[in-house]
Copies of this chain bind each other. A is one copy, B any other.
């Protein structure tokens, strides 16, 4: 819905803060249903919920955002009354590391927790870029083995399955140690150059093999004419990296074999391959085949932070946007192993692994998927008010409906019948109950089928069907209220 500013400047203009958005009924209900499904999956895998406050000390949040050169850049921060800086959390990982360090003695170890909630980023607002959004994280802290990493994949797969996305997603896995091994074997040691190479690899999906090759060599000019400097590798180095990103992907085992050949002699690389082999075996034991979880050499996921396996959950279907263009949703979840997050507080390295599902992106995908033929959320049955002196009778009807588990309300606004029907339409009511003087005299009520009207408008039901026995409005005995409404609700 669009903003409607007031012009009288003695009064505040009713407006949403810049970069923030209001969520109305359909969005909230869709998101909550999704979150409930995901939480159920997390719990099934033994994760327990945690809810940290929105506000943390700034030094506790630390500097995880790459853009955080200044202490309050990227986060909404203010000075508390005792002069300490406090800020809105910008992710759910920093609070987790704080909690683990703070309650180390009381928490079960390993600590498996999930947390679902909004995070805040102080970024320049732009179209579709919001400064508050939901994250849905799960992490296992204190488990060093590949079994915990394999589980991250299994949890993501189960979450997508629970949302009805079976066959429409792919979990991609790589290992930072393998990437390091490849770089080592290619003789690339200088940190900046390593970063440039990883950035190039990360662009395989977008630029293809030739584009990556350019970025590994002298550089690349994009169609707009902009030039990106390359890593200036020697041609044998380029061949090695290109051989890596284009490694056989028939199945996880084939990728592991190719990785093994490419990293032989690098301790880091060999350790990474061994982890991937173990993850492969555990995934198979959990019933996750090569269709659901793939090993992807080009998966990088950010440049710092992760220390071993990295994960990404990708939606593999396309939908069309309102202009008829194909839209691919791509990555809706990501994570990996990070073994030095708690160290900042305690000096002790604690192994941790997990992932985060981006609720809003995933919700958009589910909406797009459901857009064909799906019915919108239905509203309450509206009991119209034809005679103000009969409010108690109308309220009794609404109470009866609610008692039968049917959301219902009496119309509480002003205006006549037409306005009440308009209201019922806006609320997407399946039916309206109408009772005036005549009906009360006869012990009857009229019931208007509003689903039929909207189906006719949407071209779902034909005029035929209407004639065949779904009357748009019918008079029934007052005592037949519940059964009549139930019939309308169950009519598909």
Mark A residues whose CB is within 8 Å of B: 1, 3-4, 6, 8, 11-18, 20-25, 27-29, 32, 43-46, 48-57, 59-60, 62, 76-78, 80-82, 84, 86, 88, 97-99, 101-110, 112, 118, 120, 122, 124, 131-132, 140, 142-145, 147-148, 150-151, 154, 158, 278, 281-282, 284-287, 344-347, 379-380, 382, 388, 391-393, 395-396, 398-399, 402, 405-410, 412-414, 423, 426-427
For A406, what are the chain B residues with a Cβ–Cβ distance below 8 Å?
44
In contact, A62 and B12 (Cβ under 8 angstroms): yes
For A99, what are the chain B residues with a Cβ–Cβ distance below 8 Å?
14, 22
**A103→B406 CA distance, assembly (Å):** 28
**A11→B59 CA distance, assembly (Å):** 9
Partner of A393, one of B29, B82, B285: B285
In contact, B412 and A145 (Cβ under 8 angstroms): yes
For A143, what are the chain B residues with a Cβ–Cβ distance below 8 Å?
412-413
Residue in A107, A147, A148 with the greatest tally of chain B CB atoms within 10 Å: A147
Partner of A60, one of B12, B46, B62, B81: B12
Partner of A132, one of B53, B60, B380, B410: B53
For A409, what are the chain B residues with a Cβ–Cβ distance below 8 Å?
45-46, 112, 151
Partner of A22, one of B50, B345, B399: B50
In contact, A45 and B402 (Cβ under 8 angstroms): yes
Not counting A16-B52, A25-B48, A54-B54, a sample of 8 additional A-B residue pairs whose C-beta atoms are within 8 angstroms of each other reads A1-B103, A11-B345, A12-B344, A22-B53, A46-B379, A108-B427, A110-B423, A286-B396
In contact, A56 and B344 (Cβ under 8 angstroms): no
Partner of A49, one of B3, B25, B278: B25
**A3→B281 CA distance, assembly (Å):** 41
Residue of B nearest to A102 (CB): B14
**A108→B420 CA distance, assembly (Å):** 10
Q: A23-B51, A101-B14 are in contact. Are A426 and B45 (CB under 8 A)?
A: no
Residue of B nearest to A29 (CB): B49
For A16, what are the chain B residues with a Cβ–Cβ distance below 8 Å?
52-53, 56, 98, 102
Residue of B nearest to A391 (CB): B147
A–B Cβ pairs within 8 angstroms, 26 of them: A11-B345, A12-B57, A12-B60, A14-B346, A16-B53, A17-B55, A21-B53, A23-B52, A28-B49, A43-B380, A44-B408, A45-B402, A46-B427, A48-B427, A54-B118, A54-B120, A55-B132, A76-B78, A81-B122, A107-B426, A109-B413, A109-B423, A110-B413, A143-B412, A148-B412, A287-B399
Q: A28-B50, A143-B413, A345-B6 are in contact. Are A44 and B12 (CB under 8 A)?
A: no
**A29→B48 CA distance, assembly (Å):** 9
For A21, what are the chain B residues with a Cβ–Cβ distance below 8 Å?
53
Q: How far is the CB of A301 from chain B (nearest CB, A)?
A: 22
Residue of B nearest to A413 (CB): B110
**A21→B1 CA distance, assembly (Å):** 35
Q: A110-B412, A285-B393, A347-B11 are in contact. Are A55 and B120 (CB under 8 A)?
A: yes
